[in-house]
Amino acid sequence: MIYAILRRFGQMLFVMFGISVIVFLIFFATPGADPAARIAGRNASPEVLAAVRHSFGFDQPLYVQYTRMMEKIFVTGDLTSFVNRGWKVVPAVMDSIPVTLSLVFGAAVLWVVVSIIIGIVAAATRDSWLDKLLMALGLLGISMPVYWLGEVMNLITQSRYHDSWAFSWVPPLGYKNFSDDPRGWFLTLVIPWITLAILYIGIYGRVLRAAIIESMQEDYIRTARAKGLSETRILFRHALRTSLIAFVTLFGLDFGALVGGSALLTEVVFGLHGIGKLTYDALQNLDLPMIMATVMYASMFVVIANAVVDFVYILLDPRLRAS
């Protein structure tokens, strides 16, 4: 087990190294890409460009530039923005991470719990009116774009019915730190959690239902029935456990992607300055250090999420544990 953990950790480091090299080469070694020209501005003289290259170390070999940038991102944390002079990139990323984690983690808890309930109920009542109703509602949730649903939620809770008893508790758009105001933190994220979770509830509920129905046709389920086990025990003890493997696979991919910046639309709609918004602004301004830092930290979360999924597989599938 320890060997497997160490091997997985080594794979994570290798993937992170590969991502960092690729991103660095794209922005700093692509023919025609000159970071010094971006910093110096338009119509800069050759003397100014040379001074900027020397000041930022762009006249050094690529491996030296890469090493210095990784050191400034992960060790010293003093990498500065090319656009906003003097603005420290790493502290800005670290300030954005709790916002995105709060949004994604809360929404993930909501969609996992609700979708598991929906998947189990729909599979247990297969082809009934309840199954069809749940699947229709799930399809409706999948069909609604997050940004559109977010704007509708804002229209209802922030404008039209904000003064009503139902939504008077909803605070203005934005984010409050958990350490400063736990209640305010929770209240500001309730509507974003629901908005983001609705899409994934539909997807995960349908995936789990299909997986459970498929598992119920397997030979080991027939064996369990032959032994006299109840349908409830077969469903929860055997079919559900196997079906959760596909569920966990999908969850690892989606959770890592959302933490890595895919929650951008939700962040923009609800005024949350998370990793997605920070990355988008950096791309708009071609702020290369900020892009590099956000991509590195985002990829780190994606790699970690996939590593956690691998270990959850071992818990769910005894065959993997034995191997």
Whole-model pTM: value is 0.84
Number of residues assigned to the chain: 323
Q: How far apart are CA 91 and CA 283, in angstroms?
A: 18
CA atoms within 13 A on the CB side of 220: 10
Q: Is the separation of the CB atoms in 62 and 28 below 8 Å?
A: yes
| Torsion angle, alpha carbons of 44, 47, 49, 54, to 10 | -160
Q: Which amino acid is located at 231 in the chain?
A: E
Q: Which amino acid is located at 25 in the chain?
A: L
- The angle that helices 2-28 and 62-71 make with each other, rounded to 10 degrees, is 120
| Torsion angle, alpha carbons of 39, 43, 47, 49, to 10 | 20
Q: Average pLDDT of the chain?
A: 84
Please determine, for residue 57, whether its predicted confidence score (pLDDT) is greater than 80: no
Q: Which amino acid is located at 299 in the chain?
A: S
Q: How far apart are CA 132 and CA 263, in angstroms?
A: 30
pLDDT band at residue 296 using 50, 70 and 90 as cut-offs = confident
Q: Give DSSP secondary structure letters for 181-240.
A: -HHHHHHHHHHHHHHHHHHHHHHHHHHHHHHHHHHTTSHHHHHHHHTT--HHHIIIIIIH
> Of 54-58, 148-152, 279-283, which gets the smallest average pLDDT?
54-58
Q: How far apart are CA 169 and CA 184, in angstroms?
A: 10
Q: How far apart are CA 205 and CA 211, in angstroms?
A: 10
Q: Is the dihedral of CA 217, 223, 227, 233 positive or negative?
A: negative
pLDDT of residue 270: 92
User: Residue range 116-143: average pLDDT?
Assistant: 91
Task: Identify the residue with better confidence: 238 or 121.
Answer: 121
User: Residue range 95-113: average pLDDT?
Assistant: 93
Please determine, for residue 316, whether its predicted confidence score (pLDDT) is greater than 80: no
Task: Burial-class residue 27 by CB neighbours within 10 Å (0-12, 13-18, 19+).
Answer: middle
Q: Where are the domains of the chain?
A: 94-275
CB neighbours of residue 46 within 10 Å: 7
User: What would the CATH number be for the domain defined by 94-275?
Assistant: 1.10.3720.10
Percent of the chain scored above 90 by pLDDT? Answer: 23
> Of 38-47, 70-79, 185-194, 270-279, which gets the smallest average pLDDT?
38-47
